[in-house]
Amino acid sequence: MSDWPDVRLHVVTGKGGTGKSTVAAALALALAYGGRDVLLCEVEGRQGIARMFDVEPLPYEERRLATGLPGRRGRAGTVHALHVDPESALLEYLAMYYRLGRAGRLLDRFGVVDFATTLAPGVRDVLLTGKIYEAAKPGGRRGGGRAYDAVVLDAPPTGRIVQFLGVSSELAGLAKVGPIRSQSDAMMGLFRSEATAVHLTTVLEEMPVQETADGIAELREAGLPVGGVVVDQVRPRDLGDEHLAAAAAGTLDRELVAHDLRAAGLAEEADAGLVDVLLADGRDHAVRRRLEDEQRALVADLGRPAYELPRLAGGVDLGGLYELAGLLREQGMA
């Protein structure tokens, strides 16, 4: 059973580089089972989805991306992808509300599009989130677009998420008029509702965990629904807790290790110094694990459901994404 049965819009934020895109992709796969349709969106203009799934760069329209991770009865669902860029969103918006055909292109020529989307971040954010809202809003979509069971957003990092979701009041008046304004009210309704969850990714290091705590506080203050914390890139736990202290102190049983290596047919290597190499590996690992444990305790104190994903030593390929999806589902995130 999922921890988020009523959530239709999953927003994934977190400190830069901690795994937002990876987690969003894995979550989308995990949510797409039993014939369910999931939309995975990206808004940062980097074509990260295309790279992760090894497909051609995505256009500004929904594309079938992958088959989800099959559910218990073996049935899978579908993941679609959408790459939203602010320029296209603005032109589409103008065309829709002002019937600007030729003039839209004219605006582009005069640099207005560039202006509105880079100079006025408020306008840009409303345009991007507006597109997401279209796909996730209650009661399906106007114009007969595909209706999704869930939408996963690979969102901007923690520092920008509250502003991105349009709650910041200091847009310097830039998005306070016209259709943008009325649309943003409807969007806020969805973003603040129980149908939305803002999840945060982190790694077990000091700065990212601190940023997660700060991010949660900011989201709460803005009245946005805080989801779970996904701890990504966790070191494998190849040494049992009982051995960690000894590994750190350098008091692991050398003789035992040497004996095991010989029994495994590595006598030559053991004599050449493999025992020392392994003990050094163990010591380094123990030190890092201790630092991780300190951070893990801080994550637990955040009081949100936490999910852990291992660091895949060979990097994340398509197979790796399904593996991570399976782990998210096992832990109840999907």
Partner 1 sequence: MSRGRPRVGPLARTGDGTGADALDVDALIGDPATRIVVCCGSGGVGKTTTSAALALRAAEQGRRVVVLTIDPARRLAQSMGIEELDNTPRPVVGIDDAAGGALDAMMLDMKRTFDEVVESQASGDKAAQILANPFYVALSSSFAGTQEYMAMEKLGQVHRAAEADGTYDLVVVDTPPSRSALDFLDAPERLSSFLDGRFIRLLLAPARGPARFMTAGVGLVTGAVTKLIGAQVLRDMQTFVAAFDTLFGGFRARAERTFALLQADGTAFLVVAAPEPDALREAAYFTERLAEDAMPLAGLVVNRCSAVPTGAEGPDGAVLSTDEATTAATRVAKRDPVSVTAGLLRLHADRARAVEREGRLVERFSAAHPDVPVVAVPALAGDVHDLDGLREVGRLLADG
User: x/- string (CB under 6 A) for ligand ATP, residues 148-167?
Assistant: ---------x----------
Question: In this structure, how many other beta carbons lie within 10 angstroms of the beta carbon of residue 1?
Answer: 4
**Is 201 a residue that touches Mg ion (CB under 5 A)?**
no
Q: Which of residues 55-74 bind partner 1 (CB under 8 A)?
A: none
> Among Mg ion, ligand ATP, partner 1, none, what does residue 106 contact (CB within 5–8 Å per kind)?
partner 1
26 neighbors 321 (Cβ within 8 angstroms): yes
Q: Which of residues 4-23 bind ligand ATP (CB under 6 A)?
A: 14, 16-22
Q: Which of 31, 164, 232, 325 binds ligand ATP (CB under 6 A)?
A: 232
Q: Which of residues 308-327 bind ligand ATP (CB under 6 A)?
A: 309, 311-312, 315-316, 324
- The span from the CA of 235 to the CA of 193, in Å, is 35
Q: Which helix H or strand E contains 61, and what residues bound it?
A: none
Considering CB under 8 A, how many residues would be counted as binding partner 1? 72
Q: Which of 184, 196, 233, 295 binds ligand ATP (CB under 6 A)?
A: 233
> Among Mg ion, ligand ATP, partner 1, none, what does residue 233 contact (CB within 5–8 Å per kind)?
ligand ATP
CB of 153 to partner 1, least distance (A): 17
Considering CB under 5 A, how many residues would be counted as binding Mg ion? 3
Only segment of 24-32, 67-75, 94-102, 321-329 that touches partner 1 (CB under 8 A):
94-102
135 neighbors 145 (Cβ within 8 angstroms): yes
CB of 218 to partner 1, least distance (A): 16
Percent composition of the chain: helix, strand, coil (DSSP 3-state, to 5): 50, 15, 35
- The span from the CA of 291 to the CA of 60, in Å, is 43
- The span from the CA of 59 to the CA of 61, in Å, is 6
- Half-sphere exposure of residue 215: CA atoms within 13 angstroms, side-chain side: 30
User: x/- string (CB under 5 A) for Mg ion, residues 6-25?
Assistant: --------------xx----
User: x/- string (CB under 8 A) for partner 1, residues 310-329?
Assistant: ---xxx--------------
- The span from the CA of 7 to the CA of 25, in Å, is 17
Q: Which of residues 233-262 bind partner 1 (CB under 8 A)?
A: 236, 238-240, 243, 252-253, 256-257, 260-261
CB nearer ligand ATP, residue 271 or residue 330 = 330
CB of 8 to partner 1, least distance (A): 28
Q: What is the DSSP letter of 188?
A: H
The CA–CA distances, whole Å, from 221 to 133, 215, 218, 246 equal: 22, 10, 5, 45
User: Which conformational region is residue 73 in: left (phi greater than 0), alpha (psi within -120 to 50 degrees), or beta?
Assistant: alpha
What residues pair up with 78 in beta bridges, in sequence order?
37, 67
User: Which conformational region is residue 234 in: left (phi greater than 0), alpha (psi within -120 to 50 degrees), or beta?
Assistant: beta
CB nearer partner 1, residue 76 or residue 266 = 266
Residue 224 token pair: 């946005």
Considering CB under 6 A, how many residues would be counted as binding ligand ATP? 17
CB of 5 to partner 1, least distance (A): 34
